[in-house]
Amino acid sequence: MESLTFRHTTRKPLPGSVPNAITGVVASGNLEILLERVLAPDACEVAIETPIAGYGDVWEAVVADFVARAQPGGLRISINDGGARPDTVSLRLLQGARLMEA
């Protein structure tokens, strides 16, 4: 298993007040994402556990694009990966952010 952590500073906090949410399932080609509103409003941390090593730069790019797009300030995001493709990761991250904004 490979562990990756990315920390970003956001321009604004993620809207809404939902304290936490989970989406997705740890299955082949899928992943689960746990989102918790526990950080400073301009901070976002994404921690990943993945069984597929060597894709750190791809994860970094996916997370950076997500942060730029969703501005998920205040969120600690934890990912259990089952070997999901980057597009699935993006989709789940956006789904998770939407749940937190509700």
Partner 1 sequence: MTEWRGERRARDARIAAGRAHATGKVVPAVAVVDLLEAILRPGDRVCLEGDNQKQADCLARGLSACDPGKIHDLHMVQSGIVLPEHLDVFETGIAKRLDYSYSGPQGARIAKMLYGGQIELGAVHTYLELFARYFVDLTPNVALIAGVSADREGNLYTGPNTEDTPTVVEATAFKNGVVVAQVNEIVDRVPRVDIPGDRVDFVVEADRPFYVEPLFTRDPAAMTETQILIAMMAIKGIYAEYGIRRLNHGIGFGTAAIELLLPTYGEKLGLKGKIATHWALNPHPTLIPAIESGWVKQVHCFGSEVGMDRYIRERPDIFFTGADGSLRSNRAFCQTAGLYACDMFIGATLQIDLSGHSSTITQSRVAGFGGAPNMGSDPHGRRHPSDAWMKAGREGQIVGDPALMRGRKLVVQLVETFGDKLVPTFVEQLDALELARKIGLELAPVMIYADDVTHIVTEEGIANLLLCRDVDEREQAIRGVAGYTAVGRGRDRAKVEELRARGIIRRPEDLGIEPLDADRALLAAKSIKDLVHWSGGLYEPPAKFRNW
Partner 2 sequence: MAGDRSARPDPGSLSWYEATARQRVAALADPGSVREFLPPTERRMSPHLPLFDLPRAFDDGIMVGEATLDGAPVLIAAQEGRFMGGAFGEIHGAKLVGLLRVALELKPKVVLILFDTGGVRLQEANAGETAVAETMRAIVDVRAAGIPVIGLIGGRAGCYGGGGLVAGTCSRLAVSEGGRISVSGPEVIETNKGAEEFDSRDRALVWRTMGGKHRRLTGGADAFCADTVSAFRRAALDLIGRAPAFDLDTLEAEQARLEDRIARFGDCRDATDIWRRLGVNDPEAVPAMDTDAFDATVARAREIDHDAR
In DSSP notation, 36-93 reads: EE-S-TTEEEEEEEESSTT-HHHHHHHHHHHHHHH--BTEEEEEEESS--HHHHHHHH
Using the rule CB under 8 A, which residue among 2, 34, 45, 55 binds partner 1? 55
Side-chain half-sphere of 45: how many Cα atoms within 13 Å?
10
Q: Which one of partner 2, partner 1, none is in contact with 55 (Cβ closer than 5 to 8 A by kind)?
A: partner 1
Q: How many residues are there in the chain?
A: 102
Using the rule CB under 8 A, which residue among 20, 40, 60, 65 binds partner 2? 20
Interface pattern 41-80 for partner 2 (x via CB under 8 A): --------xxx--------------------------x-x
Closest distance between partner 1 and the C-beta of residue 83, in Å? 7
